[in-house]
Amino acid sequence: MSAVHRFVDLLGGRCDPAAVASRDWDGIIGVARSEAMLATLAYRLEGADLPPTVAALFADQRAAAEVAQRQALWEAEMARRALAPAGIEFVLLKGAAYAAAGMACSKGRQIGDLDILVLASDIRRAENLLLKAGWEWVKSDPYDDHYYRAHMHELPPLIHKVRDRMIDVHHTILPRTHRITPDALALVSDAVTGADGYAVLCPPDMAVHCAAHMLADGDLQGGLRNLWDFHTMTRDFAAADPAFWSKLDGRARMHGLQAAVQRAVRLSRDLYGAALPGGCDRQDPADAWFRRRLLARDDWGRVTQPLLEQAFYIRSHWLRMPPAMLARHLWTKWRKR
């Protein structure tokens, strides 16, 4: 059995950590690191019977993840202080949202940039306020800047000049040029506010966004992590609300993301052993390509199928923009190399 399968089985609870041979941990840890999920695994296996050096490494990872999470939430607080006085409300997305809402998938989850969602009508004001509060543009290239503003679902990334942390300010969850146009107004207006005052997407929208980010927008870089987010959040949402699966289906349909959500549901069953309601428990032959892409890691953490990786990269661009525009974009990018 390969390291990546063992890794997925450990997360899914289908493999007894005490039964893993000492030398097999190298590969499991290598895969986990390459997927930025070592701390996630460390939390998943907290208290398990592990070789002492592995247990010590995992304890380090948990402690480090806790600090990193506090630092990520501090960035959310900094954004709030910059935007709230001007009356701009924002919704936290992805890692910071999971952490603010105290969700299971946030345990050990790496949080890179701060992702927030604001109303499209607020986005220029939000940008100005952030610039005044010490964030700066990262992209100095005029084409990239124009590209973001004209076609993307977010502002060009901003980085804080003192704290060196990035913020991505979104006005919707898929690029403007994408074939699918989710209902951004509904995302913001149905967001829910937690005890600490941060708004996050309502449960079905959060799952829809997670699936969209993984399967409709990106090239499945970090796919195992996104799928783990999706799996644990849908599991917990369904446990708290018996009507969750049907609500998820309704929202996915409304946003035009039913196919992405259904695929995410099936993949979380295939890889992490999710228990699904009857209606979703189907097979799709194309899923095999996605499983292969998600599991394409060797025990040194390297990508094993570069052609497949490349194919998914091309697919992500194909989904993002119409063919003529894609050709123009690639031509411009190629000339700038």
Partner 1 sequence: MRHSTRIAVGPVQFRIGSDWAEPVAALERLYAGYPRDETRPADATVRLFAARPWRRWLRPSVHIGGDFVVPDALPLPLSMGLLAAEMGMNLQVALGWRRHMLLHASAVAKDGRALIMSGESGSGKSTLAALLGEDGWRLMGDEFTLIDPAAGDAFAFPRAVSLKNEAIAEVAARVDAARLGPLLAGTPKGDIRHLIPRADAIAAMHEPARPALLLFPRFGGEIAVEPMGEGEAFVRLTEASTNYVALGEAGFAALTRLVRETPAFCITYPDSAAGIALVGQLWAEMVR
The only residue of 67, 150, 162, 275 in contact with partner 1, by rule CB under 8 A: 67
Q: Is residue 90 within 8 Å of residue 126, measured between CB atoms?
A: yes
Name the one range near partner 1 by CB under 8 A: 26-34, 184-192, 256-264, 322-330: 26-34
Going residue by residue from 290 to 329, which x/- string records binding to partner 1, judged by CB under 8 A?
----------xxx---------------------------
> In this structure, which amino acid lies at residue 4?
V
Q: How far is CA 156 from the centre of its chain?
A: 18
CA distance 131 to 252: 35
The only residue of 45, 54, 91, 188 in contact with partner 1, by rule CB under 8 A: 54
User: What are the φ/ψ torsions at residue 154 (nearest 5 degrees)?
Assistant: -150, 165
Q: How far is the CB of 28 from partner 1 (least distance, A)?
A: 9
26 binds partner 1 per the rule CB under 8 A: yes
The only residue of 5, 51, 120, 313 in contact with partner 1, by rule CB under 8 A: 51
Residue closer to partner 1 by CB (options 30, 204) is: 30
Name the one range near partner 1 by CB under 8 A: 22-30, 121-129, 153-161, 199-207: 22-30
Rg (CA), the chain: 20
Q: Which of 136, 107, 213 is nearest to 170 (CA)?
A: 213
64 binds partner 1 per the rule CB under 8 A: yes
The only residue of 10, 12, 17, 34 in contact with partner 1, by rule CB under 8 A: 34
- 314: CB partners within 8 A, 6+ apart: none
Compute how many residues bind partner 1; rule: CB under 8 A. Answer: 24
Q: Which of 202, 153, 148 is nearest to 174 (CA)?
A: 153
The only residue of 13, 71, 84, 317 in contact with partner 1, by rule CB under 8 A: 71
73 binds partner 1 per the rule CB under 8 A: no
57 binds partner 1 per the rule CB under 8 A: yes
- Planar angle of CA 40, 298, 67, nearest 5 degrees: 20
Name the one range near partner 1 by CB under 8 A: 19-27, 125-133, 196-204, 230-238: 19-27
16 binds partner 1 per the rule CB under 8 A: no
Q: Is residue 265 within 8 Å of residue 280, measured between CB atoms?
A: yes
Q: How far is CA 136 from the centre of its chain?
A: 24
The only residue of 13, 14, 16, 53 in contact with partner 1, by rule CB under 8 A: 53
Q: How far is the CB of 208 from partner 1 (least distance, A)?
A: 32
User: What SS3 class is residue 13?
Assistant: coil
283 binds partner 1 per the rule CB under 8 A: no
- 130: CB partners within 8 A, 6+ apart: 79, 82, 83, 158, 167, 169
- 219: CB partners within 8 A, 6+ apart: 309, 312, 313, 315, 316
Contacting positions for partner 1 (CB under 8 A): 22-23, 25-26, 29-30, 33-34, 51, 53-54, 56-57, 60-61, 63-64, 67-68, 70-71, 300-302
